[in-house]
Amino acid sequence: MPASHLLLALAVVAVWGTNFVVIKLGLAELPPFLFATLRFALSAFPFLLFIRRPPVALHRLALFGVLLGAGEFGLLFYAMRSDISPALASLVIQTQVFFTIALSAFAHRERLAPLQFAALALAVAGMAVIGWHLEASVTALGLALVLLAALFWAFANLVVRSAGKVDMLGFMVWSSIFAVPPLLALSVAFDGVPAMRAGLANAGFAAWAAVAWQAIGNTLFGYGAWGWLLARHPAATVTPAALLVPVFGFSASAWWLDESLPGWKLGAAALVCAGLVLNLIAARRGVAPTSALDRKSPA
Angle at 150 between CA 85 and CA 176, to 5 degrees: 100
pLDDT reported for residue 296:
47
pLDDT reported for residue 286:
60
pLDDT reported for residue 235:
63
pLDDT reported for residue 93:
92
pLDDT reported for residue 174:
95
pLDDT reported for residue 25:
94
pLDDT reported for residue 128:
92
DSSP of 203-234, one letter per residue?
--HHHHHHHHIIIIIIIIIIIHHHHHHHHHS-
69 vs 33: CA distance, rounded Å: 10
133 vs 150: CA distance, rounded Å: 20
Alpha helices in 136-219 (DSSP H): 140-163, 168-186, 193-202, 205-212
- Using DSSP's 3-state secondary structure scheme, residue 16 falls into helix
pLDDT averages per 10-residue partition of the chain, 299 residues: 84 91 95 96 92 92 94 96 94 88 79 82 91 87 96 90 82 94 97 95 94 89 80 69 86 92 92 86 62 49
pLDDT reported for residue 163:
81
Please check whether residue 86 is in contact with residue 18, taking contact to mean a CB–CB distance below 8 angstroms.
Answer: no
72 vs 117: CA distance, rounded Å: 25
